[in-house]
Structure 1
Amino acid sequence: MKQFLLFISALLLSLPSAFGHVGSSGVLFQGQAGDYRVLVSVQPPDVIPGTAQITVYVESGRVSNMYARPIYFSSGDEGAPSPDELLPVDAQKNQYQGIVWLMEGGSSSVQIDLDGTQGKAELIVPIAAVSTAERDMPAGLGWTLSALGLLLVVLMVTIIGASVSDGLLRPGQQLSAKQRRKRLINMGIAFGVCVLILYGGSSWWDSWASDYKQYLYKPLQAKASIIQEDGQWIFEFKADTASLRANNRKNALNYLIPDHGKLMHLFLVRVPGLDAFAHLHPERADSTTFRAFLPALPAGKYLAYGDIVHYSGFTETITDTIDIPAAPASSLLQKRTDPEDTYVVTDPLNNPKNIPLDENVVICGQPGTKTKLKDGSYVIWEGKASQTFEAGKPYSLRFEVFAPDGTPAELQSYLGMPGHAAIVRSDGSVYIHLHPVGTYAMAAELTLKNRIADTSRTYQRAAAAVFRDSIDRQIAFLKTLSTEDRETYLMKEMGMSSGQTDDSQHTAAMNHGSSLSFPYAFPKAGSYRIFLQIKRNGTILTGVFDAKVIDSTTF
């Protein structure tokens, strides 16, 4: 057990892809582009500049032409390049593929234009593209280039030597001792010049590579801890200011924007069983510190994932591990930072056993089976009970919710969405916060659409103190609203309201009824746990499901 926990801690600290999620590269979008229903996959490169791979599945409607182009937050629509065509790869499935070049790192979006039987349409897919890797030259290519370089040096030295000696000879004449000496001297000079050129090129390349390392994405580092105040345990997430300064991001946390009305979404998952889960919304105590009242979670080692969104739409997940000690329930006042804070206890992953049942305990479900929720309603995850999933393949994870009497349940908006889901791999190396519209943050989509509407080529950001104050006032305003009014406000802001135009990208997710569908591609084989969260009759309900993922080459 101790070795496992040490491995988990080291794994979380070493993950290079902790922006917006952990271990799940790329973005999936599921929704409407005009009258076309589409599933879009965007796989950004891990080296910038680089190419993003785009795949579009047109699920309804027939498309004749499709184009895509990147739009960077820094330069907006006016500074965007011309679009590239996406070509059909499977006419029967109406599937299109192509690439776009990403020349800038950071927050950006891919604009996709479609034209077909239902007319023209457009959609925007947010992406975060940063350099997270270095490319090593293949050994074979390196030796080949070295041999060619050596050959060029020999040829150059030989040609220069011949030009200062042989060119002066008449047919049949031999070089004199003076001419041979002159030839050798000039060949030596030529060789020295070649060495200097090679040394200068090598130094330039090493300098460029060193500069590149400075721009490699480094996740924000934070320290999780538990403090006790007035008989209540408080979870504290404090960013490492030294890390911020080292990454030239000392003001980064002053430029956060709310996602679903919250500055941070914090998920706590107990390891190794993934049998305790909390979804909290810490409040900002200062520019680097977030705090939330801790619910009565069972003692143990927990993975902490804190999702934040920057003003540019760039999303990050701050990770850490924390030990939550045992304490008598009577010693805790059980306060909540936010009315949407919730937690649940369930049976351990791949190790079902009897557990104490109370109002916060649910039993984990499988595809194709009924999974009971704590209010007596239940969820059916569509699929066969023995279903396995292939790594890297996009799926629509579909859930149907029923009331205790078996009728379709009436779901309420929860943080402006029909539902949420968090997916965690057994070793913590994969984590993602999902919505029915895709794998990206809704705030990122909103801010990028606003940036595209802005015709200025350069974004002028406000002073840190001014920006932070404006966001704090927005958060304070949301707290003054009733739950119903706040949900209405958030739904409208994120394009989920019934008052949106018919070409809303989220029409399909808005008309959910009692069904929910989450697009996702499991990144690698292993055991996963899905925490589904919905709201009905004013109560937030959490269903827990297990998924088995195999390599795509496994049969």
Structure 2
Amino acid sequence: MKNLILIIMLLAVGMTAKAHVGSAGVQMQGQAGPYKVLVSVEPPDVIPGTAKITVFIENGIAKKVLARPIYFYSGDKGAPSPDELAQVAGQTGQFQGAVWLMEWGSSSAQIQVEGEQGKGELIVPIVAVSTAEREMPKHLGIGLSILGVLLFLLMITTIGASVSDGILRPGETLTFAQKRKRWVNMGIATVLCSVILYGGSSWWDSWAEEYKQWLYRPIQGNAAISENGDQRVFQLKIDTTGFHSQRRGSMLSTLIPDHGKLMHTFLVRTPGMDAFAHIHPERKDSTTFEAYLPKLPGGKYLVYSDIVQRSGFAETIVDTIDIPEQQAKSNPLQVTAEEDTYVVTDPIDSPGAVPLDENVVVCGKPGTKTVFKDGSYAVWEGKPDKPLDAGKPYQLTFEFFNPDGSACYPEPYLGMTGHVAVVRTDGSVYIHLHPTGTFAMAAEKSFKDRMADTATTVKAPAPAIFRDSIDRYLAKLKAMPMEEREVFLMTEMGMYDVKDGAMSGMDHGNRISFPYSFPKAGRYRIFLQLKRNAKVLTGVYDVKVKDAVTL
């Protein structure tokens, strides 16, 4: 039986999180021409609203940084002029400002840098949706009510005076007829003003109700386990109830792959956080995705499934699931994708209590190393007993080593040098990170393609034709040898240039950083995934996060 309270908590958090669970901000590390930059965006929770943008210039000297919003449906030609970000006093290379996000849906911030090394720009994908309703402060409401009553009375008395006292000559007094006329006109004015006020109130209430229809509601999904012989199969069926009211239309037929996969699903056993899987369910129909399960131990699992729409709008579907124990079998387990992987580690409250299994790693902390099952290991830079601050941007940096201690250069895994999944122990925070940042690479590519299109209004594709083309693309990718597929994905995502059969422009070392800001205090488990000798390796780390000290 599912834990109803946990589901409600996760879905409530998901409503404020959009593509990430509990992490609304966006961090991006990339190149703006000759400048290496780190961009942090705090999107508003009400649209229209302002997004706070902070840009850190990591190399070179920038003289001016501009930012402007670009919306997927109106493109580059329909975007407003950029605003200049102010340089933060006393902080070299740091610029800060805000841009207005006026449209609901898939948006982005175009960052333009001008300096001694020339000009450069980059696109930061943003999910712009309303997730909150603003309540008027009580003291402001009282003050406006008093002012409104005074204006109402002033209007009525002014109209009454205009037909009586206002037309008297000096020394004259009001006659009975004039007094009656004043009261009649004041009565008429009272009725008319009341009707106007009632109409205004009704308009405001209807507008507020319409606004509620635009409040973001996360996609619901129902996870289940079925049996295919003695093989366990994970199934996620998307609930389309309410799609019409949420204006989602045929979006499930226009999903796009991210890192070559239409869906990334992460499974984390709760409450111990001691079993983890990263699998890639394949689409069986518009609402159903399935994947063979690896040899995970039985128990209750948190489910996080990432998808990306054609517009670059990324979402995470959240659920919980009970996984039965794997029955003994003689034949090897089937896999849906070569990249599917799992790991077992020690429970978060019982360090070192690791079961004996062929796919076990011991959990580490910042400043310590985690040894993978092939003897290689990774070290998370930092101090093991020092908690991190919530809300502070960090570079989660790991160094990768061979068993003999020499530097190990990770092989591409789904087109990236590494992946990280961050999960808070209560499940209320989840995010899938890459060295480039907290956004989906497919979203960035969607916006780059959209900006290259000069049309001011994007054309919606035919859902059936679009879906068929994506399915053929995925089948082509799956048929490729792994090495060829990785090179293809890296080239397609614009990560590296491939010239004469070799990769160029590749910042490739044994040190990998993932930009992230922990949204709130608590205990977190970090799942690091790298590839060596064509095998995906998973390391596990624990960290405590405390509330930031405000001065």
- Paired residue type of 1:14: A
Taking the aligned partners of 1:367 and 1:495, their CA distance within structure 2 comes to 31
Q: Tell me the SS of whatever aligns to 1:54.
A: strand
Shifted more, 87-96 versus 355-364: the winner is: 87-96
Letter in 2 for 1:190: A
TM-score normalised over the length of structure 1: 0.96
What is the letter of the counterpart of residue 275 of structure 2?
A
Q: CA deviation at 1:353?
A: 4.3
List structure 1 runs of 4+ shifted beyond 3 angstroms.
none
- The corresponding residue for 2:430 is 431
Report the alpha carbon displacement of residue 488 of structure 1 after superposing the two structures with TM: 0.5
Residue 375 of structure 1, CA deviation: 0.6
CA separation in 1, counterparts of 2:162 and 2:458? 58
Correspondence for 2:523: 527
1:45 aligns with 2:41: no
**Which residue type is aligned with residue 66 of structure 2?**
Y
Equivalent residue number for residue 14 of structure 1: 12
- Structure 2 Cα separation of the partners of residues 311 and 124 of structure 1: 16
Instruction: Assess if the C-alpha contact under 8 Å between 2:230 and 2:327 holds in 1.
Output: no
> CA–CA distance in 2 between the matches of 1:524 and 1:332?
45
Give 1:180-195 correspondences, 5 Å limit: 180-195=179-194
Find the counterpart in structure 1 of residue 411 from structure 2.
Answer: 412
1:263 partner amino acid: L
Aligned with residue 550 of structure 1, among 529, 546, 549: 546
State the 1:385 CA deviation.
Answer: 1.7
Q: After the TM superposition, which of the residue ranges 298-307 and 239-248 deviates more from structure 2?
A: 239-248
Question: Following superposition of structure 1 onto structure 2, how do residues 134-533 of structure 1 map, counting pairs within 5 Å?
Answer: 134-330=133-329, 334-499=333-498, 510-533=506-529
Q: Quick check: 1:233–1:332 contact (8 Å CA) kept in 2?
A: no
Q: Following the alignment from structure 1 to structure 2, what is the Cα–Cα distance between the partners of residues 539 and 140? A: 62
Cα distance in structure 2, aligned partners of 1:266 and 1:355: 24
1:89 and 2:88 correspond: yes
| Partner secondary structure for residue 60 of structure 1 | coil
Cα deviations across residues 223-260 of structure 1 (Å, max 9, x unaligned)? Answer: 00111122211111001122323423241110000001
**Secondary structure of the equivalent of 2:183?**
helix
Partner of 1:115: 114
Deviations 1:205-231 (A, max 9, x none): 000010111111111111001111222
Q: Cα offset for 1:356? A: 1.4
The alignment's C-alpha RMSD in Å is: 1.8
One-letter code aligned to 1:531: F
Quick check: 329-338 or 223-232, which moved more? Answer: 329-338
Decide whether aligned partners of structure 1 residues 172 and 554 sit closer, same or farther in structure 2, where only a CA change above 3 A counts: closer
Q: Is the 8 A contact 1:275 1:348 kept in 2?
A: yes
* AA partner of residue 9 (structure 2): L
- Alpha-carbon separation, structure 1, partners of 2:209 and 2:83: 33
Amino acid at match of 1:86: L
8 Å CA contact 1:221, 1:239 repeated in 2: yes
3-state DSSP class of the match of 1:471?
Answer: helix
User: SS in structure 1 opposite 2:64?
Assistant: strand
In 1, Cα distance between the equivalents of 2:5 and 2:332? 34
Q: Measure the CA separation in 2 of the matches of 1:483 and 1:91.
A: 49
Verify the 8 A CA contact 2:18 2:24 in the aligned structure 1. no
- Name structure 1 gaps, 5 residues minimum: none
Change over 3 Å in CA distance of 1:498–1:407 after alignment to 2: farther
Q: Which moved further from structure 2: 386-395 or 351-360?
A: 351-360
CA distance in 2, matches of 1:92, 1:227: 56
Amino acid at match of 1:347: D
Displacement of 1:498 in angstroms is: 4.2
CA contact (8 A) 1:105 1:130 kept: yes
Alpha carbons 1:420, 1:534 under 8 Å: kept:
yes
SS of match in other structure, 1:438: coil
Deviation (angstroms), 1:176? 2.2
Residues 81 and 444 of structure 1, relative CA distance in 2, 3 Å threshold: same
Q: What code does the residue aligned with 2:412 have?
A: S
Given that 1:231 and 1:333 are in contact with CA atoms closer than 8 Å, whether structure 2 keeps it comes out as no
Hey, what does 2:57 align to over in structure 1?
58
Partners in 2 of 1:496 and 1:169 — Cα distance?
Answer: 83
Secondary structure, counterpart of 1:451 in structure 2: helix
* CA 41–230 in structure 1, closer or farther in 2 if over 3 Å, else same: same
Once the 2 structures are TM-superposed, how far is the Cα of residue 435 of structure 1 from its aligned partner?
A: 0.2
C-alpha contact (below 8 Å) 1:162/1:183 kept by paired residues: yes
Partners in 1 of 2:337 and 2:515 — Cα distance? 28
Deviation, structure 1 residue 326:
2.3
Amino acid at match of 2:45: D
**AA of the residue aligned to 1:11:** M
Does structure 2 retain, via aligned residues, the 8 Å contact 1:231–1:332?
A: no
Report the count of equivalent residues: 547
The secondary structure found in structure 2 opposite 1:446 is helix
TM-score, with normalisation over the residues of structure 2? 0.96
Aligned residue type for 1:516: I
